[in-house]
């Protein structure tokens, strides 16, 4: 019996190139017109690992981190990260004391939320740092302009218990840089900021996500908040060779079984594909439970890069596996198949998947299932937390 390796390679892995993260953050902070850069690491760093990405970003031009939830903010603090962190989506009934204690900046969009934050600050025994969010036209989170004076009243009344760090908002059409709503939202942000200044506050302003960071210098203000571009996925959907960004994640899996199959055999559930000739099939052990959408191979259009060529996935995507047609080429068990990545050798990208599925690459990256797909890293800092290769 052959000796088994002590650290067997993972079945499926989402490999993250931290050098690509660094490259992208350097590019974005260089593009930011002198504004500070907040790397958005919500949703576990868009599926790339929040802590690893945060460290790489802070070392290459970012000075802030942005997250959605208090849990995400506290995970960064628990990892020893001390940079300013903004958390922006909360229930009014949450316990804000741990976040205030940890020095997490909090977005507030209503007097109800402010009351909960003040309660947390009182129990934490220190003041809360607030980013007051104005709804400038997305009609999602944020204080409607009509309620803004009342929110400012409540903030004024809170006195020393709070520090007003920023007035901020989020765009509806950032990916269409000339869309008329952008100027409308910009004007509303500036009005809200002026009203805050009239109360004696001196907040900074921030509005730009990735797309606006890359296309609208007039929206950079004091701080930009790129997310998707940090991960190298182009917010304007330019193909990889034309984008200044480098995709950081490669989803890959090792071939589990290779075999010759006779002509006329049906492949995978429902026999949607039948071998037109005798051929070599490679079984790649990754499927919809790993975040490979089953719909992706509708019409047989999914491909992988394997053994030096781009090859078709044949038949249905299963829960745990897909089958790749290799014709008469030699493919070895254990070889790495790339499902999506930076497009090397003409291989598929997350953008290709998104186009095929009629969605956006954000959903592809965050859809890789962390519980099943092992995350590995390369680049300096990869060995921290034992998460390296």
Ligand X SMILES: *Cc1c(COP(=O)(O)O)cnc(C)c1O
Q: How far is the CB of 365 from ligand X (least distance, A)?
A: 10
Q: Which of 42, 46, 133, 231 is catalytic?
A: 42
C-alpha–C-alpha distance, residues 323 and 312, integer Å: 9
Nearer to ligand X, 27 or 273 (CB): 27
Q: Is 42 a catalytic residue?
A: yes
Among 170, 246, 254, 361, the residue binding ligand X under the rule CB under 6 A is 170
DSSP assignment letter at 271? G
Is 249 known as a binding-site position?
Answer: no
Q: Which is nearer to ligand X, 174 or 196 (CB)?
A: 174
Smallest distance from the beta carbon of 210 to ligand X, in angstroms? 3
Instruction: Decide: residue 169, CB within 10 A, 0-12 exposed, 13-18 middle, 19+ buried.
Output: buried
Q: How many CB atoms lie within 10 A of CB 114?
A: 24
Q: Which is nearer to ligand X, 130 or 284 (CB)?
A: 130
Residue 260 forms beta bridges with which residues? 280
How many residues contact ligand X, by CB under 6 A? 12
Map the footprint of ligand X across residues 186-225, applying CB under 6 A: 209-210, 225
The yes-or-no answer on residue 157 being catalytic is no
In the bound state with ligand X, the residue whose beta carbon lies nearer, of 158 and 229, is 229
Member of 20, 31, 58, 88 binding ligand X (CB under 6 A): 88
Please say which residue, 41 or 74, places its beta carbon nearer to ligand X.
41
- Joined tokens for residue 29: 């902070």
Give the helix ranges, DSSP H, for the chain. 18-31, 42-46, 50-58, 70-78, 97-101, 111-124, 148-158, 180-198, 210-215, 350-357, 361-366
Across the beta sheet with 257-261, the strand order is 257-261, 279-284, 322-325, 309-314, 303-306, 336-340, 249-254, 12-17, 374-378
Q: Is 140 part of any known ligand binding site? A: yes
Site for ligand X in 39-78 (CB under 6 A): 40, 42
Nearest distance, CB of residue 141 and ligand X, angstroms: 8
185 near ligand X, judged by CB under 6 A: no
Beta carbon of residue 43, minimum distance to ligand X (angstroms, whole number): 8
Within 65-147, residue ranges assigned H as helices are 70-78, 97-101, 111-124
Asked if 227 touches ligand X (CB under 6 A), the answer is yes
Residues catalogued as catalytic = 42, 269
Binding residues: 140, 319
User: Which residues lie near ligand X (CB under 6 A)?
Assistant: 40, 42, 88, 170, 209-210, 225-229, 235
């Amino acid at each position: 019996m052959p000796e088994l390796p002590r650290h067997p390679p993972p079945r499926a892995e989402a490999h993250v190139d931290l050098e690509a993260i660094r490259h992208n953050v350097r590019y974005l902070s260089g593009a930011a017109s002198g504004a500070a850069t907040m790397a958005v690491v919500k949703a576990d760093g868009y599926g790339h690992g929040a802590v690893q990405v945060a460290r790489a970003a802070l070392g290459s031009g970012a000075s802030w981190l942005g997250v959605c939830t208090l849990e995400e903010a506290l995970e960064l603090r628990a990892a020893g990260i001390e940079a300013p962190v903004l958390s922006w989506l909360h229930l009014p009934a949450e316990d804000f004391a741990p976040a205030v204690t940890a020095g997490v900046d909090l977005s507030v969009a209503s007097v109800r939320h402010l009351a909960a934050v003040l309660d947390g600050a009182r129990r934490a025994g220190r003041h809360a740092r607030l980013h007051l969010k104005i709804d400038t036209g997305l009609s999602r989170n944020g204080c409607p302009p009509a309620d803004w004076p009342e929110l400012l009243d409540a903030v004024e009344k809170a006195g020393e218990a709070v520090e007003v760090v920023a007035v901020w908002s989020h765009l509806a059409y950032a990916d269409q840089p000339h869309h008329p709503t952008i100027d409308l939202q910009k004007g509303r942000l500036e009005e809200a900021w002026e009203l805050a200044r009239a109360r004696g506050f001196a907040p900074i302003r921030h509005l730009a996500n990735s797309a606006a960071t890359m296309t609208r210098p007039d929206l950079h203000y004091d701080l930009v908040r790129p997310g998707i571009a940090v991960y190298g996925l182009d917010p304007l959907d330019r193909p990889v060779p034309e984008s200044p960004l480098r995709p950081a994640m490669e989803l890959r899996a090792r071939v589990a079984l290779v075999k010759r199959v006779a002509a006329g055999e049906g492949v995978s559930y429902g026999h949607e594909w039948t071998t037109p000739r005798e051929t070599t099939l490679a079984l790649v052990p990754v499927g919809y439970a790993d975040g490979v959408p089953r719909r992706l191979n509708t019409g047989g259009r999914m491909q992988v890069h394997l053994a030096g060529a781009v090859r078709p996935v044949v038949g249905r995507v299963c829960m745990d596996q897909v089958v790749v047609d290799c014709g008469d080429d030699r493919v070895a068990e254990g070889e790495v198949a790339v499902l999506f990545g930076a497009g090397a050798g003409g291989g598929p990208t997350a953008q290709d998947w998104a186009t095929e599925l009629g969605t956006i690459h954000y959903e592809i990256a965050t859809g890789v299932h962390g519980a099943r797909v092992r995350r590995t890293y390369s680049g300096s800092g990869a060995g921290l937390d034992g998460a390296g290769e």
